[in-house]
Amino acid sequence: MPAPLLLLGSAADLPADLPGPPSPAAPLRLTAMARPPTWVRRLTHGSAPHACAEGEELGLMDLALAARASPLFTTRAPVDRYFAALEARWETLAVAGVLAPGVWAWTWHDGTARGPIRPGSVLVCTCRTGQECHLGHLAPFLMRAGWDVRRLRR
């Protein structure tokens, strides 16, 4: 059986129509953001847990985003610390099988658990083209977990 498809991309490339309630087997639109803005929440069915910063990583994310946004962005150190923290956790999750197709579950935006993330679903962030996004760092872990990971194209 071929690996199920999972698309990663920018929320700006989602269709502008609201998704409505998810039908039983249809692909899902999910945020992969710790703090999705309102417009992203409206365009998505829910969230993909584990894909974004959580706990103490939130502070590292804020430092990394501040460094990236600064006109004096002269050191990658905060960015590297942030991605290293995420990757260490994703490694543990990948080894434990938590991110595997059929196992990894999505949630409503309020965190209420739902069923497994469906083949063909899309995970989005709001990074712009050319920005280093955590989804690019997540992709190899998802491939190891058994997903066929592709980039969402408009």
The residues that touch Zn ion, with contacts defined as CB under 5 A, are: 125, 127, 133
Cβ 115 to Zn ion shortest distance, Å: 25
Q: Which of 10, 8, 7, 6 is nearest to 130 (CA)?
A: 10
The first and second tokens of residue 86, run together, are 């995420």
DSSP 19-54: --SPPTTS--EEE--SS--HHHHHTSSEE-TTSS--
Q: What residue spans of 43-133 are helical by DSSP H?
A: 57-69, 77-96
Of the pair 86, 127, the CB lying nearest Zn ion is at: 127
Cβ 25 to Zn ion shortest distance, Å: 28
Of the pair 68, 116, the CB lying nearest Zn ion is at: 68
Of the pair 32, 99, the CB lying nearest Zn ion is at: 32
Confirm if 106 and 115 have CB atoms less than 8 A apart. yes
Of the pair 107, 126, the CB lying nearest Zn ion is at: 126
